[in-house]
Amino acid sequence: MALRKWVAAAAMSAVTITISQPAIAAEAAKPTVYTFGTLRTAPADQAKAKAAEWLGSIGKMDSGAFEKIWANESRSVFDRTIDSLLLGSTEAEAMLLDARNPDAMPPMSVPSIIKDVKNNDFFRANIATAYAKALSSKRVYEEALEALKSVRAEFVVEPSAFFFYKAVAEHATIQKELANGSIVRLLDDVADAPDRYKMVATLMFFDMQNWSADQKDLANIGRLMDNSGRRLDLARGGPQTQDIQKKIVFRLDEKIKELENQAKGGA
């Protein structure tokens, strides 16, 4: 508990500092609501009822298939919820099959079925979390993060998964303050987060505490190189990757100049 409070305090401080920066002015307009320990995995009967309500509202309830899904108690509430929702949307089913296929090309944008606010909040939030989870396993962090940003954790039957995969994507794309905020919410807001999530999240947090504020720091440049390499592996050599590569070259050049100046001063 002491560790969790310390992590929360440090990350909240980082978030407060970040909000003053113009780069995330839009985020500042939406204050984060902290719900300390009130989020938890939905009981199976509640998740089942919500899924049934949505399927009934769109006229896609297949009682036989639905009951078969929920009879399999060896599967998690989240997995059974996703399978139930897919009964009502062939589009979502195809989207997740593609996201889970290791040989499929990574998406270049988040499907409208997730981003369209006209769709049911419960459906969107849970499908978006499943989509982000699948993309994260393929290191497609940009679209995973965009999908999660378009929904709210309060509608997800397993909110710990929402915050965990959000933190993973933010950490991987070198967004320290945002990742800290997601980790705080995972540790403090979710009452029953699995130990595996909490352990990895804590490791990410402590890893980020070692990130230097100096953009010319070689470890920071190395992280940019890793991110550029990841994007190239995903066949994403467009403007965003080129911008990362320009930053690498510029910061390396600045570091070389700094070292040369130090050498001259010591001569």
Q: Does 225 lie in the same domain as 204?
A: no
131 plus 262 within the same structural domain: no
For 182-203, give one letter per residue: b (16+ CB within 10 A) or e: bbbbbbbbbeebeeebbebbbe
Which residue's structure tokens are 């070292």?
A: 259
- Kindly write down the DSSP assignment for every residue of 5-74, as one continuous string: HHHHHHHHHHHHHHHTSGGGHHHHTS-----TT-B-PPPHHHHHHHHHHHHHHTT---HHHHHHHHH-TT
DSSP 8-state symbol, 107:
P
SS3 190: strand
Residues 53 and 184 in one domain: yes
pTM value?
0.78
Range of the domain at 163: 2-209
Number of domains observed in the structure of the chain: 2
Predicted pLDDT at 179: 96
User: Do 132 and 244 sit in the same domain of this protein?
Assistant: no
CA 226, 230, 234 angle in degrees (round to 5)? 170
- Shared domain for 11 and 123, answered yes or no, is yes
Report the pLDDT value the prediction gives residue 44, as an integer from 0 to 100: 97
Residue 25 confidence (pLDDT): 34
**Shared domain check, 252 and 120:** no
Phi, psi of 190 (to 5 degrees): -100, 115
Residue 243 pLDDT > 70: yes
pLDDT at position 93: 97
Residues 140 and 258 in one domain: no
Q: Are residues 84 and 205 in the same domain?
A: yes
Res. 18: pLDDT tops 70 = no
Half-sphere exposure in the Cβ direction for 168 (13 Å, CA) = 25
Domain identity same for 64 and 169: yes
Question: Based on the domain organization, do 93 and 149 belong to the same domain?
Answer: yes
Q: Are the CB atoms for 148 and 132 separated by under 8 Å?
A: yes
Q: Does residue 152 sit in the same domain as residue 231?
A: no
| Secondary structure element (H or E) that encloses residue 177, with its range | helix 176-184
Q: Which two tokens stand for residue 49?
A: 């009822």
Q: End of a domain among 191, 209, 227? A: 209
Task: Match 């910061």 to its residue by tokens.
Answer: 251
Checking if the pLDDT of 66 tops 90, the result is yes
User: Do 146 and 255 reside in the same domain of the chain?
Assistant: no
Task: Give the C-alpha separation, 88 to 86, whole Å.
Answer: 5
